[in-house]
């Protein structure tokens, strides 16, 4: 168990590093290629990422679960079925992306995106060995190769994207060539990960017994069901991005905006993606670390511990999601200019950033439901949320531009989260948090907002007014963020809506627990 927990912590840490890298590289990339170049990349990225997340994450978990639940003699049969299932799917998706690139690009309204789709489609061919090898190591609780492969894949990918884009841009090639280079980074990253996993397979995997025959179709159905259920919460934002790829640019053009301006507007809208990823880090780490404990505790006769972990995951996730979204709301113009060179569409990015709250709750609720074996209703709710998002785009973008797309994203996610909460109450009637929790959360957010707005306006118009625009915005943002965080955390600590013991479950929670004890020491001394 000690070895397993070490591996689980390592895998969680690797997942967070990958998420951070995924958010960080977009900033220098956008700075090199501008909003039009960012639009080009973001139009195609979801097509590759959706299949990658489903197979390399979802299928890896499915293979590991089926291996863990089976007899050793069945392992080779499971490997073979898994490999050929993903291989066939990979070939089909590759064929659709490569052969259908011209058609997909036409549907998106930009024929020049075809070349990017063709380059990116080659990444799909590597999914089968990645998923099967990751699953085999996870089944044996040997998490190190999986963690190292994830980090290596992302590190190689990001390096090639940034270095390759810099070379392409400085040499005067087109932005579409820069986009192809970025797609090539995904292929190279997966090649590196496959190579590392093959090294570990040759080094650590011993001979397995002769295979026991397994029925193919029932095994395939089970793999598909598990892989989709565990990855659907991670896929929903990517699928929303794919919906945006087909709708935003075309609807902006149809509403009378010129082609170049429509591309730039879509690129500016896509600035919200890395900001949202940063805000989702806490929820992601909770889903990866705390939530699996719920499934373990739920199997025991006394479900009290499972309830405590479920409530804690919900509260901490909501707490930091609201802090992130509210914080971005108050400093968005300055963060926008600091990271992306201009303050354009800051209001739309504020609305976009509130998706952090809905996505955080979605990640936690779906992970909790998966932990107790409930997956069908969440899948149906996500399909409904996607429909709301698409209809929202069609109705709101002609009226409000990219602000309409941001509103549609919130409506789609709110639909899913509302349905999940109603369903959760029905099958597991938990009271996630008392009214006092929400009252203190609102007070902490409002207090943070008041302090941050006063300081930011003073800094922007007086303190740093003489400095060049982007440098002044950077100083305003970098001073306002810690000030707001200090106010927010001090009020949360003073309220004790999360106890010291509960903070100890969180990574870096000890510091928060100590702060809470210091701020409440007088209250305890008075015996209250």
Q: Kindly report, residue by residue over 475-507, the tens digit of the pLDDT.
A: 999 999 999 999 998 898 888 888 877 777 665
pLDDT at 42 (0 to 100)? 93
Q: Kindly report, residue by residue over 277-320, the tens digit of the pLDDT.
A: 888 876 666 665 665 566 566 556 555 567 777 888 888 889 98
Among residues 265, 280, 308, which one ends one of the domains? 265
Q: Please indicate, yes or no, if residue 159 is contained in any of the structural domains.
A: yes
- For 338, counting Cβ atoms within 10 Å of its Cβ (0-12 exposed, 13-18 middle, 19+ buried), the class is buried
157/136 Cα distance (integer angstroms): 24
Q: CB of 270 within 8 A of CB of 406?
A: no
User: Cα separations (Å) of 117 from 46, 166, 173, 194, 494?
Assistant: 10, 21, 18, 22, 52
163/185 Cα distance (integer angstroms): 10
- Count CB atoms within 10 A of the CB of residue 337: 21
**pLDDT tens across the length of the chain (528 residues):** 444 445 556 766 777 788 888 888 999 999 999 999 999 999 999 998 888 888 777 777 777 777 767 766 677 788 788 888 888 988 999 999 999 999 999 999 999 999 999 999 998 888 878 878 877 777 666 778 888 888 999 999 999 999 999 999 999 999 999 999 999 999 999 899 999 988 888 876 555 555 566 778 888 888 888 888 777 877 888 999 999 999 999 999 999 899 999 999 999 999 999 888 888 876 666 665 665 566 566 556 555 567 777 888 888 889 989 999 999 999 999 999 999 989 999 999 999 999 999 998 998 888 888 767 777 888 899 999 999 999 999 999 999 999 999 999 999 999 999 999 999 888 888 888 889 999 999 999 999 999 999 999 998 888 887 787 788 889 999 999 999 999 998 898 888 888 877 777 665 677 778 888 888 776 544 444
Q: Please indicate, yes or no, if residue 47 is contained in any of the structural domains.
A: yes
pLDDT at 301 (0 to 100)? 52
Tokens representing 216? Answer: 């193919």
User: Cα separations (Å) of 375 from 198, 254, 367, 420?
Assistant: 33, 39, 9, 11
* SS3 annotation, 424-443: HHHHCCCCCCCHHHHHHHHH
Tokens representing 58? Answer: 């979802």
C-alpha 288: how far from its chain's center? 12
pLDDT at 526 (0 to 100)? 44
pLDDT at 73 (0 to 100)? 67
- The structure tokens 């986009």 sit at 179
pLDDT at 528 (0 to 100)? 40
In sequence order, the 6+-apart residues with CB closer than 8 A to the CB of 357 are 318, 321, 322, 325
pLDDT at 34 (0 to 100)? 92
Structural domains in the chain (count): 2
pLDDT at 527 (0 to 100)? 41
Structural domain that includes position 465: 435-525
pLDDT at 139 (0 to 100)? 66
Tokens representing 415? Answer: 């639909």
3-class DSSP assignment, residue 422: helix
Q: Kindly report, residue by residue over 377-404, the tens digit of the pLDDT.
A: 888 999 999 999 999 999 999 999 999 9
Residue 126 is classified by DSSP as T
pLDDT at 21 (0 to 100)? 86
Q: Please indicate, yes or no, if residue 339 is contained in any of the structural domains.
A: no
Q: Please indicate, yes or no, if residue 506 is contained in any of the structural domains.
A: yes
Tokens representing 284? Answer: 């992601």
Q: Kindly report, residue by residue over 89-107, the tens digit of the pLDDT.
A: 889 999 999 999 999 999 9
Q: CB of 457 within 8 A of CB of 433?
A: no
Q: CB of 349 within 8 A of CB of 336?
A: yes
Q: Please indicate, yes or no, if residue 443 is contained in any of the structural domains.
A: yes
pLDDT at 507 (0 to 100)? 58
Q: Please indicate, yes or no, if residue 351 is contained in any of the structural domains.
A: no
**HSE (side-chain half, CA atoms, 13 Å) at 512:** 25
3-class DSSP assignment, residue 466: coil
> Which of 92, 77, 161, 155 shows the shortest CA–CA distance to 125?
92
Tokens representing 372? Answer: 């107790």
In sequence order, the 6+-apart residues with CB closer than 8 A to the CB of 518 are none
Q: Please indicate, yes or no, if residue 328 is contained in any of the structural domains.
A: no
Residue 111 is classified by DSSP as G
Tokens representing 136? Answer: 């085999």
- The structure tokens 């922007």 sit at 460
Q: Where are the alpha helices (DSSP H) in 53-174?
A: 60-68, 75-99, 101-108, 114-124, 127-139, 144-170
Among residues 223, 241, 265, which one ends one of the domains? 265
Among residues 217, 246, 265, which one ends one of the domains? 265
pLDDT at 286 (0 to 100)? 65
**HSE (side-chain half, CA atoms, 13 Å) at 417:** 18
Q: What are phi and psi of 465, to 5 degrees?
A: -60, -30
0.85 surpassed by pTM: yes
In sequence order, the 6+-apart residues with CB closer than 8 A to the CB of 164 are 178, 181, 182, 184, 185
Q: Please indicate, yes or no, if residue 288 is contained in any of the structural domains.
A: no
- For 117, counting Cβ atoms within 10 Å of its Cβ (0-12 exposed, 13-18 middle, 19+ buried), the class is buried
In sequence order, the 6+-apart residues with CB closer than 8 A to the CB of 129 are 83, 194, 197, 198
C-alpha 28: how far from its chain's center? 19
- In angstroms and rounded to an integer, the radius of gyration of the C-alpha atoms of the chain is 24
């Amino acid at each position: 168990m000690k070895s397993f927990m070490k591996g689980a912590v390592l895998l969680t840490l690797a997942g967070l590093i990958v998420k951070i890298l995924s958010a960080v590289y977009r900033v220098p990339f956008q700075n090199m290629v501008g909003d039009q170049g960012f639009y080009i990349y973001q139009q195609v990225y979801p097509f590759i990422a959706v299949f990658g997340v489903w197979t390399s994450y979802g299928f890896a978990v499915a293979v590991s679960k089926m291996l863990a639940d089976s007899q050793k003699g069945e392992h080779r049969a499971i490997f073979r079925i898994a490999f050929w299932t993903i291989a066939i799917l990979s070939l089909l998706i590759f064929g659709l992306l490569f052969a259908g690139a011209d058609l997909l690009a036409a549907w998106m309204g930009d024929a020049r995106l075809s070349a990017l789709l063709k380059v990116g489609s080659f990444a799909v061919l590597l999914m089968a060995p990645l998923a099967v090898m990751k699953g085999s190591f996870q089944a044996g609780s040997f998490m190190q190769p999986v963690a190292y492969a994830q980090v290596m894949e992302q590190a190689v990918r990001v390096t090639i994207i940034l270095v390759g884009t810099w070379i392409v841009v400085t040499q005067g090639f087109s932005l579409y060539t820069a986009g192809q280079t970025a797609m090539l980074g995904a292929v190279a990253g997966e090649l590196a990960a496959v190579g590392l996993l093959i090294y570990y397979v040759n080094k650590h995997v011993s001979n397995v017994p002769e295979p026991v025959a397994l029925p193919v179709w029932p095994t395939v159905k089970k793999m598909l069901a598990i892989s989709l259920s565990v990855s659907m919460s991670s896929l929903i934002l990517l699928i929303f991005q794919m919906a945006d790829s087909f709708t935003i640019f075309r609807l902006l053009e149809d509403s009378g905006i010129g082609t170049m301006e429509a591309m730039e507007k879509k690129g500016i809208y896509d600035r919200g993606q890395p900001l949202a990823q940063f805000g989702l880090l806490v929820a992601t780490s909770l889903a990866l670390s705390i939530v699996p404990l719920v499934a373990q505790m739920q199997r025991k006769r006394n479900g009290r511990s499972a309830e405590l972990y479920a409530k804690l995951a919900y509260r901490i996730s909501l707490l930091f999601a609201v802090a992130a979204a509210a914080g971005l709301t108050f400093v968005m113009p300055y963060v926008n200019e600091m990271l992306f060179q201009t303050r354009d569409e800051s209001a739309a990015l504020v609305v976009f950033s509130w998706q952090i709250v809905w996505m955080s709750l979605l990640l936690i609720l779906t992970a909790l439901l998966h932990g107790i074996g409930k997956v069908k209703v969440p899948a149906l709710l996500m399909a409904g949320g996607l429909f709301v998002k698409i209809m929202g785009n069609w109705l709101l973008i002609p009226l409000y531009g990219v602000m309409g797309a941001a509103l549609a994203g919130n409506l789609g996610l709110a639909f899913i989260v509302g349905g999940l909460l109603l369903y959760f109450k029905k099958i597991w009637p938990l009271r996630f948090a008392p009214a006092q929790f929400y009252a203190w959360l609102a007070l902490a957010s409002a207090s943070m907002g008041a302090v941050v707005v006063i300081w930011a306006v003073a800094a922007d118009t007086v303190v740093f007014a003489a400095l060049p625009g982007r440098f002044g915005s950077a100083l305003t943002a970098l001073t306002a963020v810690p000030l707001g965080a200090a106010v927010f955390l001090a009020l949360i600590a003073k309220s004790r809506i999360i106890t010291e013991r509960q903070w100890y479950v969180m990574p870096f929670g000890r510091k928060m627990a100590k702060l809470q004890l210091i701020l409440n020491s007088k209250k305890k001394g008075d015996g209250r």
